[in-house]
């Protein structure tokens, strides 16, 4: 099985991938690590700020990694924000049977009530460079983007509105 975990920044994608690794012993691949490896090695002229172009570029690689894992009957978690809403179009039915998609979305109300906690957890799995542009409005806008994208594409999502239960989310 391959599990795709996506969502807005600061929704807990990496934490969920880590919890699933611990629970199921499935390895995970961070799309952010792949991105930075390709950028730092000079394999692309894209920068960390070229989100739309990075999604197209990285998905071309990630979808082939997913196919290879399925063909080899390996479990894998792929986490990151570079999974396009049209991801299903990259696979035929036999592959789709082996893929679970998880998109984490926080409601505006949740963000308003828990913004300090959301930003306080940003280094729970990895040490991140502080983002000076991280505001409550930016986080809301990013989450609205994912909610709208999932709804338009007919994709399931986990709406975090009242409580954030990472243990519950990590159960297959």
pLDDT single digits (tens) 110-127? 999 999 888 876 655 556
Query: CA-CA distance, 83 to 78, in Å (whole number)?
Result: 9
* pLDDT tens per residue, range 57-101: 999 999 999 999 999 999 999 999 999 999 999 999 999 999 999
Q: What percent of the chain has pLDDT over 70?
A: 93
pLDDT of residue 129: 66
**CA torsion angle 98 72 69 67 (round to 10):** -70
Q: What is the CA radius of gyration of the chain?
A: 16
- Of 103, 110, 106, 79, nearest to 157 (Cα)? 103
Coil, strand or helix at 135: coil
Give the CA count within 13 Å in the CB-facing half-sphere of 83.
32
> pLDDT tier at 31 (50, 70, 90 boundaries)?
very high
Helix orientation angle between 108-120 and 136-153, rounded to the nearest 10 degrees: 120
Provide the whole-model pTM.
Answer: 0.93
* pLDDT tens per residue, range 69-78: 999 999 999 9
> pLDDT tier at 167 (50, 70, 90 boundaries)?
confident
**For the sheet containing 2-7, what is the strand order?**
28-30, 76-79, 2-7, 99-106, 158-160
């Amino acid at each position: 099985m391959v599990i795709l975990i996506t969502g807005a920044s600061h929704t807990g994608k990496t934490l969920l991938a880590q919890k699933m690794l611990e629970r199921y012993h499935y390895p995970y691949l961070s799309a952010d690590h792949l991105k930075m490896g390709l950028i730092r090695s000079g394999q692309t002229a894209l920068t960390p700020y070229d989100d739309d172009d990075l999604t197209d570029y990285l998905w071309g690689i990630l979808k082939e990694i997913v196919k290879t894992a399925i063909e080899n009957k390996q479990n894998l978690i792929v986490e990151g924000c570079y999974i396009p809403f049209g991801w299903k179009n990259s696979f035929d039915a036999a592959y789709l049977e082996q893929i679970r998609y998880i998109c984490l979305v926080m409601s505006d109300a949740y963000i308003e009530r828990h913004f300090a906690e959301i930003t306080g957890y940003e280094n729970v799995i990895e040490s991140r460079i502080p983002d000076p542009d991280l505001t409550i409005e930016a986080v809301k806008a990013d989450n609205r983007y994912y909610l709208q994208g999932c709804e338009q594409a007919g994709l399931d999502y986990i709406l975090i509105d009242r409580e954030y239960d990472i243990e519950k989310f990590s159960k297959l």
